[in-house]
Amino acid sequence: MDHIFFFYFAGVIAVTSLLVVALRNPVYSALALLIMFFHVAGLYVTLHAEFLAAVQIVVYAGAILVLYLFVVMLLNVKAEERYHDQLPVAGLLGVMLCTEVVLLLIQSRTATSVSAAPADPVTAAGNTETIGEVLYSTYLFPFEVASLILLVAMIGAIILAKKDLLEGPSEP
Amino acid sequence: MTVPLSYYLLLSGFVFLTGVVGVLIRRNIIVILLSVELMLNATNINFVAFSEYFHNVAGQVFVFFALTVAAAEVAVGLAIIIALHRANSSIYVDDLNLLKR
């Protein structure tokens, strides 16, 4: 049963990630990415990370992708008529690295089986509660740094996107 | 019978490499940013898979930090794209050769 769910989600994720790269129209690419985000959320549910699945849908599909679609609409982007000139080199590189990953994983599967990790009662308490406890105790300092990153990104985005914030009235 | 860990690694490696190839072959800078999102999602799949298999919730916490960085990257990246489009009226990367001229 686990395998059926995994192969469904993994298949859709693989196909839609290929479509994101291959489709010429950026709106279609963004919509393929939307489908991929939903299936990644489904994969998180099968991995017992329910809270992350909800966050994935809310933040990625709800905020980030909508921002992309707004920019595509604002800039009135046309479909690309051709790919970049370095397509053959990039395709070769991708195929080579992909076979390398497959070979390495096939070799290592026999060598190292996953050791039986100590069965933690931590997951029994509920996913959201556990994450909250770890986030606000062990990772409190990185959490604060993350808020600083968001602040810097907000100020930077406003300054970059605003039209004549830096030029001022001295412009002729 | 649970799914082996290496299947997840295989999936995330494939998605990551798709993102790398997408960054290399696309000319539209918006789709290049979408490919970067693909790569970030591949690392997130890895984090969650390892977190499940080693029964350690820290992996899921790190996905949050990756998510924060992704949100910041999208905000700043799209602002840069808008500024570029305003200055150059093009968002194709092979038109952006100001430093080569």
Q: What is the ipTM of this complex?
A: 0.91
Q: Please indicate if any CB of chain B lies within 8 Å of the CB of A34.
A: no
**pLDDT for position A102:** 87
- Contact at 8 Å (CB) between A68 and B33? yes
A120 in the Ramachandran plot: left (φ > 0), alpha (ψ -120 to 50) or beta?
beta
The dihedrals phi and psi of B28, each to the nearest 5 degrees, come to: -75, 125
Question: Do A93 and B24 meet the contact criterion of CB atoms below 8 Å apart?
Answer: yes
**DSSP state, residue A164:** S
Higher pLDDT among residues A140 and A121, named by residue: A140
Q: Which residue has the tokens 């933040």?
A: A59
Least confident range of A98-102, A127-131, A161-165: A161-165
Q: From the candidates A7, A9, A16, A20, which should be mutated to test the interface with B, based on the most B CB atoms within 10 A?
A: A20
Closest CA to B51 of A67, A123, A148: A123
Query: Among the CATH numbers 3.40.980.10, 1.20.120.1200, 2.60.40.10, 3.40.50.920, which is that of A1-79?
Result: 1.20.120.1200
Task: Check CB contact under 8 Å for B15 and A156.
Answer: no
Domain ranges of chain A: 1-79, 127-165
Give the amino acid at B17: L
Structural element, H or E, at residue A76: none
Question: What domains lie within chain B, and their CATH numbers?
Answer: 5-94 (1.10.287.3510)
Percentage of residues of chain A with pLDDT beyond 90: 49
Among B15, B23, B92, most A C-beta atoms within 10 A, so best to mutate, is B15
Question: Using CB atoms, which residue from A3, A80, A90 is nearest to B24?
Answer: A90
Q: Which among B34, B53, B57 has the least Cβ separation from residue A114? A: B53
- pLDDT band at residue A172 using 50, 70 and 90 as cut-offs: very low
If one counts every other C-beta atom within 10 angstroms of the C-beta of residue B71, the result is 20
Task: Give A 88-107 residues with CB within 8 A of chain B.
Answer: 89-91, 93-94, 97-98, 101-102, 105
DSSP states along A97-150: HHHHHHHHHHHHHHH-PPP-----GGGGG-HHHHHHHHHHHTTHHHHHHHHHHH
Arithmetic mean of pLDDT, A100-127: 65
Contacts of residue A138, defined as CB under 8 A and 6 or more positions apart, other chains included, come to B58, B61
